[in-house]
């Protein structure tokens, strides 16, 4: 290094998020041999890069000893696995994870929220349900009890093309909820109860106007047990007095006859579902699933904080948001627990994280394995770094409830659901818990959609948005070019209201979302 005033300042081409950070994020690709002015311990000097640093990746702002904690967001994202020099490229080759003490002081950051009176709240055009909830869509579902009836459910649902539904303008479609489970499990085992709770939750989601259940006949997950065990949670047509149609392939004489019986059952329900029309509903009846997938280094800088601001606004309006993906708050859970409304909520959250630690150990994996190849390519080095960016989706309001997977969420405001980080399984649990709309951030380009809850996808960078405009609904990358974050969040909130009122998302326009219904079954999947 040498003193020189003629070089560009490093801060002009990189981003330091917190004064205590040990790393900066490259705004553009920084090439090996490039030189920049940097303020070091000896004053202003010139730093010549010894390696190329891709966009979104990290470089050291000071020298770090082996084993020393490395901070981004002002928080620990990992530990130097070897000595790191000032200006050196920081990634998987020299940064790793190890357990460290995280002080969970419950509730110290829980600040009261001023909830608007109902008469002052925004409204959306929703489908009101007799139980007081409201849907953003009005679907009829064909639900399989077991994989053996999945094909029949697909055949029944796919029969109802847009042309066949033309006389039912208030029906958004007939969707299959098919899955690969339902047998080879013990009755009342954890996976059995998880599946029943998930299917029952999907059936009562406010975006489902009615449903048909299809089973094989000899499976472990019997249809009558599903309806009996979860009867208080299952409803058809909002309790209009019609029994749930239950079809059994073995009893009806095979696939062909069951498909025909299913078509007839759906046809009998369509007029009832179509009677429900969109009417103005307070936005407090929105329950948002907060999700990120294909994350990159900009997720925690642009899209996730924007979602957090929109979540705060919905909470202010009396609505509900559900943060999930327990493996993706790992290393940041203590920050969320500080916002717990009470000690019981905070302890439940910490206990869930501890369960995942034990679960990972027992199944021979590490929670850090949650990071994907794309996450690393996008600049995320450790699960701690990924988690610190992910919790930004939860905004700043108090944590008012913590729920098990697919459990019905009854608290208002910010809540948390215990789910894996695998996007389809996580969203399935959130929607089974009551979500009627999904906010999904992505930096690498996830094309996620979900039926019955529309998925709004927010890109973390403008390059992705421009490349995949058919799939991205909003570009949060403009923040990196100077757009005010509050303005982008306001744009997102308007988009939420429009989509809730019937505007199709980019995934809906391409009919994406049928294959993403994946109930979680406890196994070695993070």
Q: What is the pLDDT of residues 423-447, one digit of tens each?
A: 999 999 999 999 999 999 999 999 9
Average pLDDT, the chain: 93
Residue whose C-alpha is closest to residue 386's, from 402, 368, 399, 373:
368
pTM: 0.95
Q: What is the 3-state secondary structure (H, E, C) of 357-424?
A: HHHHHHCCCCHHHHCCHHHHHCCCCCHHHHHHHHHHHHCCCCEEEEECCCCCCCCCEEEEECCCCCHH
3-state SS assignment for residue 290:
strand
Q: Are 485 and 446 in contact (CB under 8 A)?
A: no
Is 319 a residue whose pLDDT tops 60? yes
Is 66 a residue whose pLDDT tops 90? yes
* Region of residue 508 (left: phi > 0; alpha: psi -120 to 50; beta: else): alpha
pLDDT at site 479: 98
Pairing status of strand 58-60 against strand 23-26: antiparallel
Q: Residue 319: how many CB atoms within 10 A of its CB?
A: 22
Q: Are 326 and 291 in contact (CB under 8 A)?
A: no
Q: Residue 166: how many CB atoms within 10 A of its CB?
A: 8
3-state SS assignment for residue 479:
helix
Is 324 a residue whose pLDDT tops 50? yes
Q: What is the 3-state secondary structure (H, E, C) of 145-187?
A: CCHHHHHHHHHHHHHCCCCCCCCCCCCCEEEEECCCCCCCCCC
Pairing status of strand 279-282 against strand 123-128: antiparallel
pLDDT at site 342: 96
Average pLDDT over residues 495-511: 98
Is 174 a residue whose pLDDT tops 60? yes
Residue whose C-alpha is closest to residue 522's, from 363, 408, 369, 350:
363
pLDDT at site 104: 86
Is 485 a residue whose pLDDT tops 90? yes
pLDDT at site 42: 67
Q: What is the DSSP-derived secondary structure letter of residue 243?
A: P
Token look-up 């449903």 returns 211
pLDDT-derived band at 103, boundaries 50, 70, 90: confident
Average pLDDT over residues 376-389: 95
3-state SS assignment for residue 72:
strand
3-state SS assignment for residue 81:
coil
Average pLDDT over residues 88-92: 97
Q: What letters, b where the CB count within 10 A reaches 16 and e where it falls short, cover 268-284? A: ebbebbbebebeebbbb
Is 9 a residue whose pLDDT tops 90? yes
Number of H helices, E strands in the chain: 14, 23
Average pLDDT over residues 381-409: 97
DSSP strand E in 61-104: where?
69-72, 75-80, 89-90, 95-96
Residue 123 in tokens: 């409204």
**pLDDT tens digits, one per residue of 110-147:** 999 999 999 999 999 999 998 899 999 999 999 999 99
Average pLDDT over residues 338-342: 97
Q: What letters, b where the CB count within 10 A reaches 16 and e where it falls short, cover 69-86? A: ebbbbebbbbbbeeebeb
The secondary structure element, H or E, covering residue 336 is helix 333-337
What is the Cα 75 distance to its own chain's centre? 23
**pLDDT tens digits, one per residue of 214-238:** 999 999 999 988 888 776 555 444 4
**pLDDT tens digits, one per residue of 406-422:** 999 999 999 999 999 99
Is 1 a residue whose pLDDT tops 50? no
Bigger pLDDT: 175 or 45? 175
The CATH architecture of the domain made up of 124-278 is: 3-Layer(aba) Sandwich (3.40)
Question: Before 452, cis peptide (omega within 30)?
Answer: yes
Beta bridge partners of 103: none
**pLDDT tens digits, one per residue of 27-51:** 999 999 999 998 766 678 898 999 9
Pick the CATH number of 10-96 from 3.40.720.10, 1.10.10.10, 2.30.130.110, 3.40.50.920: 2.30.130.110
Is 99 a residue whose pLDDT tops 80? yes
Domain extents in the chain: 10-96, 124-278, 290-509
Is 367 a residue whose pLDDT tops 70? yes
pLDDT-derived band at 525, boundaries 50, 70, 90: very low
């Amino acid at each position: 290094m040498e003193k020189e005033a003629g070089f560009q300042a490093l801060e002009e081409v990189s981003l330091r998020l917190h004064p205590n950070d040990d790393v900066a994020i490259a705004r553009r690709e920084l090439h090996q041999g490039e030189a920049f002015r940097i303020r070091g311990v000896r004053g202003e000097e010139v730093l010549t890069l010894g390696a190329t640093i891709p966009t979104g990746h990290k470089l050291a702002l000071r020298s770090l000893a082996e084993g020393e904690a490395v901070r981004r967001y002002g928080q620990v994202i990992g530990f130097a696995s070897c000595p790191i020099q000032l200006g050196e490229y920081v990634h998987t080759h020299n940064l790793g994870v190890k357990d460290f003490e995280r002080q969970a002081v419950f509730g110290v950051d829980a600040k009261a929220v001023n909830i608007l009176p109902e008469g002052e709240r925004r409204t959306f055009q929703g489908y009101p349900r007799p139980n007081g909830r409201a849907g953003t869509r009005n679907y009829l579902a064909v639900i399989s009890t077991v994989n053996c009836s999945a094909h029949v459910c697909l055949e029944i649902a796919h029969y109802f093309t847009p042309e066949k539904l033309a006389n039912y303008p208030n029906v958004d479609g007939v969707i299959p909820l098919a899955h690969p489970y339902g047998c080879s499990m013990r009755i009342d085992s954890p996976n059995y109860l998880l599946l029943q709770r998930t299917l029952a939750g999907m059936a009562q989601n406010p975006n489902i106007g009615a449903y048909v259940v299809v089973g094989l006949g000899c499976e472990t997950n019997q249809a009558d047990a599903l309806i009996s065990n979860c009867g208080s949670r299952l409803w058809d047509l909002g309790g209009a007095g019609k029994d749930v149609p239950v079809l059994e392939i073995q009893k009806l004489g095979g696939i062909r006859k069951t498909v025909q019986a299913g078509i007839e059952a759906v046809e009998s329900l369509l007029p009832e579902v179509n009677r429900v029309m969109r009417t103005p509903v307070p936005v407090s009846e929105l329950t948002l699933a907060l999700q990120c997938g294909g994350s990159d280094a900009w997720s925690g800088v642009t899209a996730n904080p924007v979602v957090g601001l929109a979540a705060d606004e919905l909470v202010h309006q009396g609505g509900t948001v559900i943060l999930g993906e327990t493996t993706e708050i790992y290393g940041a859970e203590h920050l969320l627990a500080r916002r717990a409304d009470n000690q019981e909520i905070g302890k439940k959250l910490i206990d869930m994280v501890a369960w995942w630690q034990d679960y990972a150990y027992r199944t021979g994996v590490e929670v850090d394995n949650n990071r994907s190849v794309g996450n690393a390519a996008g600049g995320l080095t450790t699960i701690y770094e990924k988690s610190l960016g992910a919790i930004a989706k939860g905004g700043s309001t108090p944590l008012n409830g913590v729920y098990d997977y697919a459990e019905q969420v009854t608290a208002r405001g910010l809540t948390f659901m215990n789910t894996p980080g695998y996007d389809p399984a996580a969203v399935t649990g959130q929607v089974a818990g009551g979500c009627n709309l999904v906010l999904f951030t992505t930096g690498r380009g996830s094309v996620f959609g979900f039926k019955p809850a529309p998925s709004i996808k927010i890109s973390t960078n403008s390059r992705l948005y421009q490349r995949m405009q058919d799939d991205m609904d909003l570009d949060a990358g403009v923040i990196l070019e100077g757009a005010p974050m509050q303005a982008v969040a306001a744009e997102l909130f308007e988009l939420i209201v429009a989509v809730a009122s019937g505007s199709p998302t980019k995934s809906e326009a391409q009919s994406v979302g049928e294959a993403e219904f994946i109930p979680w079954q406890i196994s070695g999947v993070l």
